[in-house]
Amino acid sequence: MNKSVQLQDLGRKDYNETWQYQETLFKDIVDLKIRNRREEANLETPNHFLFVEHPHVYTLGKSGDLSNLLLSEKQLEAKGATFYKINRGGDITYHGPGQIVGYPILDLENFFTDIHKYLRFLEEAIILTLADYGIKSTRSEGETGVWLDAGTPFARKICAMGVRASRWVTMHGLALNVNVDLGYFDNIIPCGIRGKAVTSLNVELGVEKVDESEVKERILKHFAALFGCHFNLQSSI
């Protein structure tokens, strides 16, 4: 089982372009697994982890409700934002500057074949990262992602998650608000959950800007410990 993960930081990149790149990596792994099965080959399947920051964009999961987007096409254009209906789970979310987006494209047969455990590990990597900054975060019953003050009237989401998996290969992933303009969340019902707030790490710490490269390093440290993997840095596309 291959425990090596190819790491790429794509910088700021268009959502659709990144999505197509994810699909290519995803398909390459799936095709290799099919070949292994058909030909009784024993070729090693790769794993990938992409960091990226997107320009303003709203994405709707395959089970999402379009009415949770509160903007018309013209209003989206006026805000410099785009919209995509995509093939991950979950409802609607926002991506934009100041948000760390992580896309693990893993063959879970290299680790464990349990999607529930996979999601809990993604959440745990963020919970441990936030703890490094003195922020206590938790899961919220029945609501994927990472929350502060879950179960109270002050509940607020700091990290959204949505994944797709086929033949135990994953794509899409997590979006952690670090230095985000939270006003963009006012244009949606985040994750289709009414009456729940959204927050960002810099807001919780009471600072203007958090060092995003440091946050990424902490996420990778906890991810590696949880998954028992190691990262190999690759050049960007």
For residue 13, how many C-alpha atoms fall within 13 Å in the half-sphere facing its CB?
A: 19
89 in a known ligand binding site: yes
- Any idea which residue has 């290299």 for tokens? 110
92 is in an annotated binding site: yes
State yes or no: 173 annotated in a binding site.
Answer: yes
* Residue 191 is among the residues annotated as catalytic for this protein: yes
**Pick the catalytic residue: 180, 191, 198, 201?**
191
User: Do the Cβ atoms of 81 and 184 come closer than 8 Å?
Assistant: yes
Structure-block tokens of residue 201: 């790490």
218 annotated ligand binder: no
- Cβ contacts of 78 within 8 Å, gap of 6 or more: none
Determine whether the annotation assigns residue 228 to a binding site. no
Q: What is the DSSP annotation of 98-129?
A: TEEEEEEE-BGGGT-S-HHHHHHHHHHHHHHH
Q: Please tell me whether 90 is known to bind a ligand.
A: yes
- The verdict on whether residue 142 carries a ligand-binding annotation is no
Known binding positions for substrate? 88-95, 160-162, 173-175
Known binding positions? 88-95, 160-162, 173-175
* Residues annotated as part of the active site: 191
